[in-house]
Structure 1
Amino acid sequence: MSQPDPSSMSRRAQFRETYRITKEQDPSIGLKLLGTFLAGAVVGFVVFWLLPGNGVVGTVIAIVGALLVGIVATLVVFSRRAQKSAYARIEGQPGAAYAALNMLRRGWTTSQAVAVEPRSQTMVHRVVGPPGVILVGEGSSPNRVRSLLASTRTKHARVLPETPIHEIVVGNGEGEVPLPKLSRRVMKLRRAVQPAEITDVLNRLKALDNTRGNLPIPKGPIPTSMKGLRGNLRGR
């Protein structure tokens, strides 16, 4: 069954879809959120009750404060649980790294599968941002991933000899970056390219991509569930 396109859904529908996806991986999410809301509401009520004020006004302020603290705490927990469930759902699928890279904020340009080895379902995705060019490799064989990364880096270095090019291998082995930490790792890279230079970098890469032509992306359930999270939960 295909997933609905988050961009065509209302904000309320996006939240419902995010909750549904989260519940598939975390069946007790409803009870956890309820417990979080109640605990937050109790803490909020006590804190606001202790503030200067008395009588009906003080009670109303305490109730409103309890609701606000409970709602904020619930949203924070839901955000973290939803992201964790989404990563668990897509991990190991072709294109999982690209889906995770869609969580990056504005100012980053992500290109899917700029290099592909269809037989082994090895792919290299590309991110362009303040650190320069980041090549992200994923696949079942770390050796094949690193080999494809090396050849892809060589091609990019020919058209961008002065631009920093970083390589990241997605995985849980030594020297690899786990999928849930991928976008954070990319954003922590040292800034080395000015905003005005990024346009020139993208133009050069566009010319490189045109000479490459269309690549055969491996067949498989390319994940899209992170797109809804990007709109609903990013930055909270």
Structure 2
Amino acid sequence: MARKETSESENPGRLKQIRLAYQMTKRVDPKVGLIVAAVGIVTFGAFLAIGFLIDHPIWAGILGFLLAFLLMAIIFGRRAEKAAFGQMEGQPGAAAAVLNNIRRGGWVVTPAVAANRHQDVIHRAVGRPGIVLVGEGNPNRVKHLLAGEKKKMSRVVADVPVTEIVVGDAEGQVPLRKLQTALLKLPRVMTKNEVRTVNDRLRALGDLISNMPIPKGPMPKNIRMPKGR
């Protein structure tokens, strides 16, 4: 009885997610409904016509209905994904949202390990391919942030391969929609234990830097340091 109630409560949640995804996609892609429906109708109609030709319209219709539903789901999923990335592109932190989707693949993602007042930011992902630094923002400023982060990490993980990725559509950059694929295509060079060790080192480095005493304001000019006795 409890299982039945659970499944009934889950279905409205899933339907609501699908409805919200469709509404979001339609705002960016107004023709998504017509395209998905056309794919389904054409696929089902083609199989039904073949069924009449071979004198098995019922079986062909069932097969056509299932295949039409599958194709409609695939087309809608791709267009919904494209619409989602289109809305995120250019937004601060968009790359971090994409990187969070690869956590289940054994990656450890740390958003915003470096940033500046212009909202250029560096995210770090550690996995079996090594360390991946992902920068988003102005390419020239991001370049300096990447260099600074690599120098900082070299204190504790100098022997670990580091891959730099700048998100964007210019030459040499990786589009946001292809970021996850780019990371998953990297060759694996470390074991799971080595990944864990690297993460522990980087975490310790972050704790050390965050605990360093930092002056809460500008240093006064012409200050005289006390002479040692």
Question: Could you tell me the TM-score, scaled by structure 2's length?
Answer: 0.79
Rounded to whole Å, the distance in 2 between the matches of 1:116 and 1:49 is: 64
Give every structure 1 segment of 4 or more consecutive aligned residues whose post-TM-superposition deviation is greater than 4 Å.
46-51
**Per-residue CA distance 1:181-223 (angstroms, 9 max, x = gap):** 1111111111111122211122122212223439xxxxxxxxx
Q: Does 1:60 align with 2:63?
A: no
Among residues 117, 120, 126, which one is paired with 2:118 in the alignment? 120
Q: Does 1:110 align with 2:109?
A: yes
How many residue pairs are counted as aligned between the two chains? 199
Give, as a single letter, the amino acid of the residue that structure 1 aligns with 2:123.
H
Give, as a single letter, the amino acid of the residue that structure 2 aligns with 1:106.
G
Q: Does 1:180 align with 2:177?
A: yes
Q: Contact between 2:123 and 2:135, CA under 8 Å: does it hold in 1? A: yes
Q: Contact between 1:44 and 1:69, CA under 8 Å: does it hold in 2? A: no
Match of 1:30 in 2: 33
Deviation at 1:48, TM superposition (A): 6.3
Among residues 14, 18, 25, which one is paired with 2:17 in the alignment? 14
Q: Contact between 1:48 and 1:65, CA under 8 Å: does it hold in 2? A: no
Rounded to whole Å, the distance in 2 between the matches of 1:88 and 1:10 is: 25
Deviation at 1:109, TM superposition (A): 2.0
Among residues 57, 81, 84, which one is paired with 1:83 in the alignment? 81
Rounded to whole Å, the distance in 1 between the matches of 2:50 and 2:190 is: 46
RMSD across aligned positions (CA)? 2.1
Give, as a single letter, the amino acid of the residue that structure 2 aligns with 1:115.
A
Rounded to whole Å, the distance in 1 between the matches of 2:18 and 2:124 is: 29
Question: Could you tell me the TM-score, scaled by structure 1's length?
Answer: 0.77
Q: 1:180 to 1:48 in 2, by over 3 A?
A: farther
Rounded to whole Å, the distance in 1 between the matches of 2:135 and 2:50 is: 49
Q: Contact between 2:111 and 2:124, CA under 8 Å: does it hold in 1? A: yes
Rounded to whole Å, the distance in 2 between the matches of 1:208 and 1:43 is: 62
Bigger radius of gyration: 2
Deviation at 1:164, TM superposition (A): 1.0
SS at match of 2:153: helix
Structure 1: gaps of 5 or more residues = 1-8, 215-236
SS at match of 2:190: coil
Q: Contact between 1:44 and 1:70, CA under 8 Å: does it hold in 2? A: no
Q: 1:212 to 1:75 in 2, by over 3 A?
A: farther
Percent identity of the aligned residues? 41
Rounded to whole Å, the distance in 1 between the matches of 2:110 and 2:15 is: 29
Deviation at 1:24, TM superposition (A): 1.2
Among residues 197, 205, 209, which one is paired with 2:206 in the alignment? 209
Match of 1:134 in 2: 132
Structure 2: gaps of 5 or more residues = 1-11, 212-229
Q: 1:121 to 1:61 in 2, by over 3 A?
A: same
Q: Contact between 2:136 and 2:168, CA under 8 Å: does it hold in 1? A: yes
Among residues 45, 60, 69, which one is paired with 2:67 in the alignment? 69
